[in-house]
Structure 1
Amino acid sequence: MSPDTPRIVVTRALPPAALEPLHTVGDVWVSPHDRPLSVEELHEAVRGAAAVVSMLNDRVDDAVLAAAGPDLRVVANTAVGYDNLDVPAITGRGVLATNTPGVLVDATADLTIALLLAVTRRVAEGDRLVRSGAAWSWDVSFMLGSGLQGKQLGIVGMGSIGRAVARRAAAFGMDVVHHNRRPVDIGGSRQLALDELLETSDVVSLHCPLTPETRHLIDAAALHRMKRGAYLVNTARGPIVDESALAAALHDGTIAGAGLDVYEDEPRVHEGLRDLDNAVLAPHLGSATVETRTRMAELAVENVVAVLTGKDAVTPIAVTSNSVPSR
């Protein structure tokens, strides 16, 4: 391609078929590493780029933008959340930021229910027991868990994923309540103040974005407001939960259990969580279906192609108070 051909940087491998349209509009560089790029590698990779297809573990801040230089036109984040993007810094340089909303709603809601069942019915704990080869036998009190019928599910963040979880929970006979930053009228669910939701729910499921206001929203005080037999599920963002406080609460029985798909400092997990039988730990699998991850890649690519061909992006990120970088 000619020297004027736009340079497109993809920070981690995506399905080749999804990437194919990029080759029609630019010179594509895909990271050869099966891991996140270091800060230094990311700075080097983006130099002279017109477009960057980023992943949720790429921190795109002013330093990355400066390294990219004046040709940068779009940062396409391959995720629905964008707390890894300094959106005001990006848009302040006249660069467009995009994400991949909508396509991972069902996959993440399904995983939320999977974690809920795994922790309340002790599925992962039972799996470890069987694989260990330890002796066990059935009796009426063996590995008792908690049923869901008639229990209250408190959803924090009633966006698309929260609503999808509510629909699934209703099929299990759960009573759904919710807390949302802005009041929303959801059939079959009552809006509660956060403290009341924490104090009355048998399961609390987190689906809010990570912002400065929601960082450590679930801290030691919040955990102590929960019922002693309650469960916490987090498929949103790790830093919404104070992991140290959660590990202590699970260890001393302040709450009964937790199902986690996200962590404060991924891929590191707080050591206090790893040895607890009442913690089910998944490695950020919320969107991990073939169909969903492929569609996420396709949507990120569609955004890049649109911008580089002078069209409107499919899913631009609007600059709001929640676009302030939070980590």
Structure 2
Amino acid sequence: MRTIFLDRNTFPADMDLTPPGAAENWTTHDRTAPDEVIERLAGANVAITNKVPLRRETIEALPDLKLISVAATGYDVVDLEACREHGVTVSNVREYAVNTVPEHTFALILALRRSIIGYHQDVLNGAWQRSEQFCFHTHPIQDLAGSRLGIIGEGAIGQAVAAIARGFGMEPVFAAHKGVDGLGPLYTPFEKVLETADIITLHCPLTPATRDTLAMPEFRAMKRRPLIVNTSRGGLVNEADAVRALQEGLIGGLGFDVLMREPPEAENPIVRAAERPDVVLTPHVAWASREAMTEVWRQTIEAVDAFAADAPVRTLT
């Protein structure tokens, strides 16, 4: 099968990406612009993409395409309806990030809760060297133990975050879906989570129903000035509203690994606020431990080889 990997640079250059065994003709591109997709996939049977979009007009222009193997869990870059209509199988990877994303989530939480960024910058600016005692207190520090962690998203990653939280002596609660009642006793009402959480972290997919899960109405309902952490998908939190809420003192800090548009524009409100000591912004790398990336690639090529053997795995269409 002729197989094309559209965005190889989403993995580190020093990582060995073994081609699928079924790829008789194997081509990789470091990156692919939207206007290059159709030309590069012409005659291909398999497309591998991490973040390169494959929309309806692309699918319709590629009659030889039979499989799209998404090197990620999120598949919003692929038009599934068009794939179904044109007989294109779509496969993704799953549950590879149950360690890396929760660990990154807590790296952001700890950096904010203990003001690591602010104190590090103070040291670089010479404040410790000029101090007249062994320490100084320019930023607030709070323990995690005894605090309430509101988790939006109850899947494998959300559950792993809750497990880590319990190890820190926190009280993790899973928020009921916004605007949905009757989910049962395992869920805390969405509004109550807003009112009582010390930290809120998001671990759900981006869909029309979850877009702007947190915006000004939700920020105004928060009583404990919580930290807001998003290592899931840009768009779950309204970025302009989040910065406004921070400026108005409605929340205590922002820890973001994802933005609505990536790479972001210079005027993105989170980017512009990132110089603040109560904002930590990382470039969509929560997923990218070496162990997790190895598993992503294993599942990606497994999907190609399984399809070639008429036994497709993890299919979405």
Tell me the equivalent position of 1:284: 284
Provide the C-alpha distance between the structure 2 equivalents of 1:232 and 1:143, rounded to a whole number of angstroms: 18
Q: 1:166 aligns with which of 162, 169, 173?
A: 162
CA contact under 8 A between 1:37 and 1:58: conserved in structure 2? yes
CA contact under 8 A between 1:8 and 1:50: conserved in structure 2? yes
Q: 2:238 aligns with which of 226, 234, 242?
A: 242
Provide the C-alpha distance between the structure 1 equivalents of 2:190 and 2:83, rounded to a whole number of angstroms: 33
Instruction: Answer with 201-210 or 86-95: which moved more.
Output: 86-95
* Residues 1:77 and 2:70 are matched in the alignment: yes
CA contact under 8 A between 1:152 and 1:177: conserved in structure 2? yes
Provide the C-alpha distance between the structure 1 equivalents of 2:56 and 2:184, rounded to a whole number of angstroms: 39
With over 3 angstroms needed to count, the CA separation of the structure-2 counterparts of 1:66 and 1:130, relative to structure 1, is farther
Q: Which amino acid in 1 is paired with 2:146?
A: G
Tell me the equivalent position of 1:38: 33
With over 3 angstroms needed to count, the CA separation of the structure-2 counterparts of 1:129 and 1:141, relative to structure 1, is closer
Q: What TM-score results when the alignment is normalised by the length of structure 1?
A: 0.86
Tell me the equivalent position of 1:321: none
CA contact under 8 A between 2:2 and 2:23: conserved in structure 1? no
Provide the C-alpha distance between the structure 2 equivalents of 1:273 and 1:85, rounded to a whole number of angstroms: 32
* Residues 1:64 and 2:63 are matched in the alignment: no
3-state SS in 1 of match to 2:17: helix
Deviations 1:231-286 (A, max 9, x none): 11101101111000011111221101011110011110434422322111111111
State the Cα distance separating 1:81 from its structure 2 match. Answer: 1.3
Tell me the equivalent position of 2:152: 156
CA contact under 8 A between 1:18 and 1:301: conserved in structure 2? no
3-state SS in 2 of match to 1:18: coil
3-state SS in 1 of match to 2:18: helix
Provide the C-alpha distance between the structure 1 equivalents of 2:253 and 2:34, rounded to a whole number of angstroms: 36
3-state SS in 1 of match to 2:192: helix
Q: Size of the alignment, in residue pairs?
A: 303
State the Cα distance separating 1:306 from its structure 2 match. Answer: 1.4
Instruction: Answer with 223-232 or 293-302: which moved more.
Output: 223-232
CA contact under 8 A between 1:60 and 1:84: conserved in structure 2? yes
Provide the C-alpha distance between the structure 2 equivalents of 1:178 and 1:259, rounded to a whole number of angstroms: 19
3-state SS in 2 of match to 1:232: strand
Tell me the equivalent position of 2:306: 306
Unaligned runs of 5+ in 2: none
CA contact under 8 A between 1:216 and 1:241: conserved in structure 2? yes
Q: Which amino acid in 2 is paired with 1:306?
A: A
Deviations 1:25-52 (A, max 9, x none): 3211100x3xx42111222211121111
* Residues 1:274 and 2:274 are matched in the alignment: yes
3-state SS in 1 of match to 2:69: strand
Q: 2:174 aligns with which of 169, 178, 196?
A: 178
CA contact under 8 A between 2:233 and 2:258: conserved in structure 1? yes
CA-based RMSD of the aligned residues comes to: 2.1
Provide the C-alpha distance between the structure 2 equivalents of 1:241 and 1:109, rounded to a whole number of angstroms: 18
State the Cα distance separating 1:133 from its structure 2 match. Answer: 3.9
Q: Which amino acid in 2 is paired with 1:28?
A: W
Identity between Structure 1 and Structure 2 (%): 30
Provide the C-alpha distance between the structure 2 equivalents of 1:225 and 1:194, rounded to a whole number of angstroms: 11
Q: Which amino acid in 2 is paired with 1:227?
A: K
Unaligned runs of 5+ in 1: 1-5, 319-327
Q: Which amino acid in 2 is paired with 1:62?
A: R
Tell me the equivalent position of 1:260: 256
- Write the mapping of 1:144-223 to structure 2, written as runs, cut at 5 A: 144-181=140-177, 190-223=186-219
Instruction: Answer with 160-169 or 13-22: which moved more.
Output: 13-22
State the Cα distance separating 1:214 from its structure 2 match. Answer: 0.4
With over 3 angstroms needed to count, the CA separation of the structure-2 counterparts of 1:87 and 1:165, relative to structure 1, is same
Tell me the equivalent position of 2:3: 8
State the Cα distance separating 1:16 from its structure 2 match. Answer: 6.4
Tell me the equivalent position of 1:323: none
CA contact under 8 A between 1:43 and 1:64: conserved in structure 2? yes
State the Cα distance separating 1:129 from its structure 2 match. Answer: 2.6
3-state SS in 2 of match to 1:20: coil
- Write the mapping of 1:61-140 to structure 2, written as runs, cut at 5 A: 61-67=55-61, 69-134=62-127, 137=131, 138-139=134-135
- Write the mapping of 1:22-33 to structure 2, written as runs, cut at 5 A: 22=21, 24-31=22-29, 33=30
State the Cα distance separating 1:228 from its structure 2 match. Answer: 4.3
